[in-house]
Amino acid sequence: MKPNARRQDFALVIGRFEPFHNAHQRVIEKALGVAEQVIVLIGSAGKPRSVKDPFFFEERRVMLKSAFAEPLASRLLMAPLRDFPYNDERWAREVQSQVARQVLARQPVLNGPPSVGLVGHFKDKSSDYLRMFPQWPLMEAPNHEQRSATDLRTLLFETALHPDDAAGKWMLIESAVPPGVYTFLREFARGDAFAQLVREYAFIQRYRAQYARLPYPPVFVTVDAVVVHSGHILLVKRGAEPGKGLWALPGGFVGHDELLLDACLRELKEETRLKLPEPVLRGSIKGQRVFDRPDRSLRGRTITHAYYFEFPGGELPLVKGGDDAARARWVPLAEFHDMEGAMFEDHYGIATSFLGA
Protein backbone atom coordinates (compact mmCIF):
# COMPACT_ATOMS: atom_id res chain seq x y z
CA MET A 1 0.00 0.00 0.00
CA LYS A 2 1.32 3.44 -0.91
CA PRO A 3 2.39 5.64 2.03
CA ASN A 4 -0.26 8.28 1.21
CA ALA A 5 -3.08 5.74 0.89
CA ARG A 6 -5.67 6.30 3.57
CA ARG A 7 -6.53 3.33 5.75
CA GLN A 8 -10.31 2.82 6.03
CA ASP A 9 -12.39 0.79 8.43
CA PHE A 10 -14.51 -0.41 5.50
CA ALA A 11 -14.10 -0.55 1.73
CA LEU A 12 -17.10 -0.98 -0.54
CA VAL A 13 -17.04 -2.96 -3.79
CA ILE A 14 -20.14 -3.25 -5.99
CA GLY A 15 -20.47 -5.70 -8.88
CA ARG A 16 -22.59 -8.32 -10.57
CA PHE A 17 -19.80 -10.92 -10.88
CA GLU A 18 -21.55 -12.92 -13.63
CA PRO A 19 -19.22 -14.83 -13.24
CA PHE A 20 -16.52 -13.76 -10.79
CA HIS A 21 -13.17 -13.52 -12.63
CA ASN A 22 -9.55 -12.51 -12.13
CA ALA A 23 -10.08 -8.78 -12.70
CA HIS A 24 -12.81 -8.79 -10.05
CA GLN A 25 -10.37 -10.49 -7.71
CA ARG A 26 -7.80 -7.74 -8.26
CA VAL A 27 -10.34 -5.06 -7.32
CA ILE A 28 -11.20 -6.84 -4.09
CA GLU A 29 -7.52 -7.37 -3.32
CA LYS A 30 -7.09 -3.60 -3.69
CA ALA A 31 -9.97 -3.10 -1.26
CA LEU A 32 -8.44 -5.53 1.23
CA GLY A 33 -5.26 -3.50 1.06
CA VAL A 34 -6.92 -0.25 2.12
CA ALA A 35 -9.53 -1.41 4.65
CA GLU A 36 -9.94 -3.80 7.55
CA GLN A 37 -13.32 -5.04 6.27
CA VAL A 38 -14.57 -5.16 2.67
CA ILE A 39 -18.29 -4.91 1.99
CA VAL A 40 -19.07 -6.66 -1.30
CA LEU A 41 -22.55 -5.89 -2.66
CA ILE A 42 -23.52 -8.46 -5.26
CA GLY A 43 -25.85 -6.80 -7.74
CA SER A 44 -28.82 -8.05 -9.76
CA ALA A 45 -29.85 -10.14 -6.76
CA GLY A 46 -33.29 -11.71 -6.73
CA LYS A 47 -33.61 -11.93 -10.52
CA PRO A 48 -34.44 -15.10 -12.47
CA ARG A 49 -31.74 -16.82 -14.46
CA SER A 50 -31.08 -15.34 -17.90
CA VAL A 51 -28.28 -15.27 -20.44
CA LYS A 52 -27.16 -11.95 -18.94
CA ASP A 53 -27.62 -13.00 -15.29
CA PRO A 54 -27.13 -16.78 -15.20
CA PHE A 55 -26.18 -17.14 -11.53
CA PHE A 56 -28.15 -16.62 -8.33
CA PHE A 57 -26.77 -14.50 -5.51
CA GLU A 58 -25.77 -17.49 -3.39
CA GLU A 59 -23.90 -19.07 -6.29
CA ARG A 60 -21.93 -15.87 -6.89
CA ARG A 61 -21.23 -15.57 -3.15
CA VAL A 62 -19.76 -19.08 -3.21
CA MET A 63 -17.68 -18.29 -6.30
CA LEU A 64 -16.31 -15.15 -4.72
CA LYS A 65 -15.56 -16.78 -1.39
CA SER A 66 -13.69 -19.62 -3.10
CA ALA A 67 -11.17 -17.12 -4.50
CA PHE A 68 -9.86 -16.04 -1.08
CA ALA A 69 -8.20 -18.12 1.61
CA GLU A 70 -8.33 -17.34 5.30
CA PRO A 71 -7.79 -14.94 6.93
CA LEU A 72 -8.75 -12.77 3.92
CA ALA A 73 -12.07 -14.55 3.39
CA SER A 74 -13.27 -13.65 6.89
CA ARG A 75 -12.73 -9.95 6.09
CA LEU A 76 -15.27 -10.07 3.24
CA LEU A 77 -18.83 -9.05 4.13
CA MET A 78 -21.07 -10.10 1.24
CA ALA A 79 -24.68 -9.02 0.80
CA PRO A 80 -27.26 -9.03 -2.03
CA LEU A 81 -28.12 -5.85 -3.92
CA ARG A 82 -31.35 -5.63 -5.93
CA ASP A 83 -31.73 -3.80 -9.22
CA PHE A 84 -34.02 -0.80 -9.53
CA PRO A 85 -33.62 -0.14 -13.27
CA TYR A 86 -35.89 2.92 -13.44
CA ASN A 87 -35.21 4.42 -10.03
CA ASP A 88 -31.58 5.39 -9.46
CA GLU A 89 -32.47 7.11 -6.18
CA ARG A 90 -34.01 3.90 -4.85
CA TRP A 91 -30.95 1.90 -5.90
CA ALA A 92 -28.56 4.36 -4.22
CA ARG A 93 -30.69 4.22 -1.08
CA GLU A 94 -30.45 0.43 -1.09
CA VAL A 95 -26.65 0.64 -1.33
CA GLN A 96 -26.53 3.09 1.57
CA SER A 97 -28.82 0.89 3.66
CA GLN A 98 -26.75 -2.22 3.05
CA VAL A 99 -23.54 -0.41 3.99
CA ALA A 100 -25.14 1.06 7.12
CA ARG A 101 -26.34 -2.41 8.13
CA GLN A 102 -22.88 -3.92 7.80
CA VAL A 103 -21.20 -1.02 9.60
CA LEU A 104 -23.73 -1.02 12.44
CA ALA A 105 -23.21 -4.74 13.07
CA ARG A 106 -19.51 -4.11 13.68
CA GLN A 107 -19.73 -0.71 15.37
CA PRO A 108 -18.81 -2.00 18.86
CA VAL A 109 -15.30 -3.04 17.75
CA LEU A 110 -14.44 0.29 16.09
CA ASN A 111 -12.49 3.09 17.71
CA GLY A 112 -14.42 6.26 16.83
CA PRO A 113 -16.70 7.00 13.83
CA PRO A 114 -16.37 4.42 11.05
CA SER A 115 -14.71 5.39 7.77
CA VAL A 116 -15.84 3.96 4.44
CA GLY A 117 -14.14 4.11 1.05
CA LEU A 118 -15.47 3.08 -2.37
CA VAL A 119 -13.20 0.94 -4.55
CA GLY A 120 -13.65 0.53 -8.28
CA HIS A 121 -12.52 1.74 -11.68
CA PHE A 122 -14.20 3.57 -14.54
CA LYS A 123 -14.45 0.86 -17.19
CA ASP A 124 -17.24 2.38 -19.30
CA LYS A 125 -20.65 4.00 -18.88
CA SER A 126 -21.71 1.12 -16.64
CA SER A 127 -19.28 2.50 -14.03
CA ASP A 128 -21.13 5.81 -13.63
CA TYR A 129 -22.55 4.54 -10.34
CA LEU A 130 -19.17 5.31 -8.78
CA ARG A 131 -20.08 9.01 -8.95
CA MET A 132 -23.31 8.54 -6.98
CA PHE A 133 -21.73 8.39 -3.51
CA PRO A 134 -19.72 11.56 -2.80
CA GLN A 135 -19.81 10.81 0.94
CA TRP A 136 -17.32 7.97 0.39
CA PRO A 137 -13.85 8.73 -1.02
CA LEU A 138 -13.21 6.87 -4.27
CA MET A 139 -10.10 4.71 -4.44
CA GLU A 140 -9.55 3.64 -8.03
CA ALA A 141 -8.40 0.10 -8.61
CA PRO A 142 -6.17 -0.69 -11.60
CA ASN A 143 -7.99 -1.76 -14.74
CA HIS A 144 -6.74 -5.28 -15.49
CA GLU A 145 -7.38 -5.72 -19.19
CA GLN A 146 -8.52 -9.25 -19.85
CA ARG A 147 -11.67 -11.15 -20.72
CA SER A 148 -14.83 -9.54 -19.43
CA ALA A 149 -17.72 -11.33 -17.73
CA THR A 150 -19.68 -10.93 -20.98
CA ASP A 151 -16.90 -12.72 -22.90
CA LEU A 152 -16.82 -15.50 -20.33
CA ARG A 153 -20.58 -16.05 -20.49
CA THR A 154 -20.35 -16.31 -24.27
CA LEU A 155 -17.52 -18.84 -24.03
CA LEU A 156 -19.50 -20.82 -21.45
CA PHE A 157 -22.61 -21.11 -23.64
CA GLU A 158 -20.53 -21.83 -26.75
CA THR A 159 -18.97 -24.87 -25.04
CA ALA A 160 -22.39 -26.50 -25.23
CA LEU A 161 -23.35 -25.29 -28.72
CA HIS A 162 -20.01 -26.25 -30.29
CA PRO A 163 -18.71 -29.27 -28.36
CA ASP A 164 -15.92 -29.90 -30.91
CA ASP A 165 -14.27 -26.66 -29.78
CA ALA A 166 -15.26 -26.95 -26.13
CA ALA A 167 -11.82 -27.96 -24.81
CA GLY A 168 -10.19 -24.78 -26.07
CA LYS A 169 -12.99 -22.60 -24.75
CA TRP A 170 -12.72 -24.23 -21.33
CA MET A 171 -8.99 -23.46 -21.36
CA LEU A 172 -9.72 -19.79 -22.02
CA ILE A 173 -12.24 -19.75 -19.19
CA GLU A 174 -9.77 -21.46 -16.87
CA SER A 175 -7.16 -18.79 -17.63
CA ALA A 176 -9.55 -15.98 -16.69
CA VAL A 177 -11.12 -17.14 -13.42
CA PRO A 178 -9.84 -18.34 -10.01
CA PRO A 179 -9.54 -22.14 -9.64
CA GLY A 180 -12.59 -22.44 -7.37
CA VAL A 181 -14.74 -20.53 -9.87
CA TYR A 182 -13.55 -22.78 -12.69
CA THR A 183 -14.57 -25.85 -10.68
CA PHE A 184 -17.98 -24.31 -10.02
CA LEU A 185 -18.54 -23.49 -13.70
CA ARG A 186 -17.64 -27.01 -14.83
CA GLU A 187 -20.21 -28.45 -12.42
CA PHE A 188 -22.82 -25.83 -13.29
CA ALA A 189 -22.48 -26.69 -16.99
CA ARG A 190 -23.67 -30.24 -16.24
CA GLY A 191 -27.04 -29.18 -14.83
CA ASP A 192 -30.54 -28.55 -16.16
CA ALA A 193 -30.38 -24.82 -15.41
CA PHE A 194 -27.42 -24.45 -17.77
CA ALA A 195 -29.18 -26.45 -20.48
CA GLN A 196 -32.14 -24.05 -20.36
CA LEU A 197 -29.79 -21.05 -20.55
CA VAL A 198 -28.09 -22.56 -23.60
CA ARG A 199 -31.46 -22.88 -25.33
CA GLU A 200 -32.20 -19.23 -24.59
CA TYR A 201 -28.73 -18.17 -25.75
CA ALA A 202 -29.18 -20.07 -29.03
CA PHE A 203 -32.58 -18.43 -29.59
CA ILE A 204 -31.11 -14.95 -29.06
CA GLN A 205 -28.23 -15.68 -31.45
CA ARG A 206 -30.68 -16.79 -34.16
CA TYR A 207 -32.89 -13.77 -33.49
CA ARG A 208 -30.03 -11.31 -33.85
CA ALA A 209 -28.70 -13.07 -36.96
CA GLN A 210 -31.86 -12.04 -38.83
CA TYR A 211 -30.67 -8.43 -38.72
CA ALA A 212 -26.92 -8.95 -39.13
CA ARG A 213 -26.84 -7.59 -42.70
CA LEU A 214 -28.74 -4.39 -41.99
CA PRO A 215 -26.66 -1.21 -42.37
CA TYR A 216 -27.64 -0.12 -38.85
CA PRO A 217 -28.72 -2.12 -35.80
CA PRO A 218 -32.54 -2.13 -35.63
CA VAL A 219 -34.54 -0.39 -32.93
CA PHE A 220 -37.72 -2.23 -31.96
CA VAL A 221 -40.85 -0.60 -30.55
CA THR A 222 -43.08 -2.54 -28.17
CA VAL A 223 -46.00 -1.88 -25.84
CA ASP A 224 -46.85 -3.29 -22.41
CA ALA A 225 -50.02 -3.11 -20.32
CA VAL A 226 -49.96 -2.70 -16.54
CA VAL A 227 -53.55 -3.59 -15.62
CA VAL A 228 -54.55 -3.35 -11.94
CA HIS A 229 -58.04 -4.38 -10.88
CA SER A 230 -59.32 -4.65 -7.30
CA GLY A 231 -55.85 -5.05 -5.78
CA HIS A 232 -54.65 -7.51 -8.45
CA ILE A 233 -52.29 -7.16 -11.41
CA LEU A 234 -52.77 -8.99 -14.69
CA LEU A 235 -49.79 -11.14 -15.75
CA VAL A 236 -49.12 -13.71 -18.46
CA LYS A 237 -46.75 -16.66 -18.37
CA ARG A 238 -44.43 -16.76 -21.37
CA GLY A 239 -44.82 -19.83 -23.53
CA ALA A 240 -41.71 -19.40 -25.68
CA GLU A 241 -38.11 -18.23 -25.60
CA PRO A 242 -36.71 -15.95 -24.40
CA GLY A 243 -37.89 -16.19 -20.81
CA LYS A 244 -40.01 -19.28 -21.32
CA GLY A 245 -41.93 -20.00 -18.11
CA LEU A 246 -41.43 -16.53 -16.62
CA TRP A 247 -44.24 -14.10 -15.85
CA ALA A 248 -44.60 -10.91 -17.88
CA LEU A 249 -46.83 -7.96 -18.55
CA PRO A 250 -49.19 -8.44 -21.50
CA GLY A 251 -47.66 -6.76 -24.54
CA GLY A 252 -45.75 -7.13 -27.76
CA PHE A 253 -44.48 -5.46 -30.89
CA VAL A 254 -46.18 -2.49 -32.55
CA GLY A 255 -47.44 -3.08 -36.08
CA HIS A 256 -46.35 -0.75 -38.88
CA ASP A 257 -49.90 0.56 -39.30
CA GLU A 258 -50.79 0.91 -35.58
CA LEU A 259 -50.90 3.67 -33.05
CA LEU A 260 -49.17 2.79 -29.79
CA LEU A 261 -52.33 2.58 -27.70
CA ASP A 262 -54.11 0.56 -30.38
CA ALA A 263 -51.21 -1.92 -30.35
CA CYS A 264 -51.31 -2.13 -26.56
CA LEU A 265 -55.04 -2.88 -26.51
CA ARG A 266 -54.66 -5.46 -29.28
CA GLU A 267 -51.84 -7.29 -27.48
CA LEU A 268 -53.73 -7.14 -24.19
CA LYS A 269 -56.77 -8.78 -25.78
CA GLU A 270 -54.75 -11.36 -27.71
CA GLU A 271 -52.68 -12.49 -24.74
CA THR A 272 -55.29 -12.46 -21.97
CA ARG A 273 -58.75 -12.57 -23.63
CA LEU A 274 -59.65 -9.87 -21.09
CA LYS A 275 -63.44 -9.48 -20.96
CA LEU A 276 -63.63 -5.69 -20.83
CA PRO A 277 -64.91 -3.45 -23.64
CA GLU A 278 -62.31 -1.31 -25.40
CA PRO A 279 -63.99 2.01 -24.46
CA VAL A 280 -63.84 0.98 -20.80
CA LEU A 281 -60.15 0.19 -21.11
CA ARG A 282 -59.41 3.50 -22.85
CA GLY A 283 -61.24 5.36 -20.12
CA SER A 284 -59.27 3.61 -17.38
CA ILE A 285 -55.77 4.73 -18.41
CA LYS A 286 -54.15 6.47 -15.43
CA GLY A 287 -50.63 6.86 -16.80
CA GLN A 288 -48.11 6.01 -19.47
CA ARG A 289 -44.34 6.01 -19.68
CA VAL A 290 -41.49 5.12 -22.02
CA PHE A 291 -38.90 2.57 -20.85
CA ASP A 292 -35.76 2.81 -22.95
CA ARG A 293 -32.73 1.42 -21.14
CA PRO A 294 -30.45 0.28 -23.99
CA ASP A 295 -29.78 -3.07 -22.27
CA ARG A 296 -33.34 -3.84 -21.23
CA SER A 297 -33.75 -6.67 -23.76
CA LEU A 298 -31.20 -9.22 -24.93
CA ARG A 299 -32.99 -9.41 -28.29
CA GLY A 300 -31.66 -5.98 -29.21
CA ARG A 301 -32.45 -2.29 -28.72
CA THR A 302 -36.10 -2.34 -27.68
CA ILE A 303 -38.05 0.70 -26.53
CA THR A 304 -41.36 -0.05 -24.86
CA HIS A 305 -44.32 2.20 -24.14
CA ALA A 306 -46.24 1.06 -21.07
CA TYR A 307 -49.82 2.04 -20.25
CA TYR A 308 -51.23 1.87 -16.75
CA PHE A 309 -54.90 0.83 -16.46
CA GLU A 310 -56.57 1.01 -13.07
CA PHE A 311 -59.92 -0.33 -11.83
CA PRO A 312 -60.32 0.38 -8.09
CA GLY A 313 -62.98 -2.25 -7.36
CA GLY A 314 -65.37 -4.84 -8.66
CA GLU A 315 -65.34 -8.48 -9.65
CA LEU A 316 -62.23 -9.62 -11.51
CA PRO A 317 -62.96 -10.14 -15.23
CA LEU A 318 -62.26 -13.55 -16.72
CA VAL A 319 -58.88 -13.97 -18.42
CA LYS A 320 -57.31 -16.79 -20.39
CA GLY A 321 -53.87 -17.15 -21.95
CA GLY A 322 -53.78 -16.71 -25.71
CA ASP A 323 -51.40 -16.01 -28.61
CA ASP A 324 -47.85 -16.75 -27.26
CA ALA A 325 -48.91 -16.59 -23.60
CA ALA A 326 -49.16 -20.00 -21.93
CA ARG A 327 -51.35 -18.64 -19.14
CA ALA A 328 -52.97 -15.42 -17.90
CA ARG A 329 -53.64 -14.75 -14.24
CA TRP A 330 -54.78 -12.04 -11.83
CA VAL A 331 -52.08 -11.87 -9.15
CA PRO A 332 -52.72 -10.18 -5.76
CA LEU A 333 -50.45 -7.14 -5.42
CA ALA A 334 -49.06 -8.44 -2.12
CA GLU A 335 -47.96 -11.60 -3.94
CA PHE A 336 -46.66 -9.68 -6.95
CA HIS A 337 -44.23 -7.64 -4.85
CA ASP A 338 -42.44 -10.92 -4.02
CA MET A 339 -42.26 -12.08 -7.65
CA GLU A 340 -39.18 -10.21 -8.85
CA GLY A 341 -37.32 -13.50 -9.28
CA ALA A 342 -40.03 -14.85 -11.57
CA MET A 343 -40.51 -11.85 -13.87
CA PHE A 344 -39.27 -11.47 -17.45
CA GLU A 345 -36.58 -8.90 -18.30
CA ASP A 346 -37.43 -5.53 -16.67
CA HIS A 347 -41.19 -6.08 -16.38
CA TYR A 348 -41.07 -6.05 -12.59
CA GLY A 349 -39.36 -2.66 -12.70
CA ILE A 350 -41.90 -1.34 -15.22
CA ALA A 351 -44.84 -2.39 -13.07
CA THR A 352 -43.38 -1.09 -9.82
CA SER A 353 -42.62 2.27 -11.44
CA PHE A 354 -46.39 2.74 -11.56
CA LEU A 355 -47.25 0.87 -8.37
CA GLY A 356 -44.35 1.89 -6.15
CA ALA A 357 -41.82 -0.57 -4.66
Give me the pLDDT at residue 356, please: 83
Per-domain residue ranges of the chain: 8-145, 219-355
In the chain, the amino acid numbered 282 is R
Which residues partner with 305 through β-bridges?
223, 290
Say if domain 8-145 classifies as CATH 3.40.50.620.
yes
Strand partners of residue 226: 308
- pLDDT of 5 reads 53
Q: What is the pLDDT of residue 322?
A: 74
β-partners of residue 290 are 305
Enter the pTM of the model: 0.90
CATH number of the structural domain 219-355: 3.90.79.10
> What residue ranges of the chain have pLDDT lower than 50?
1-4
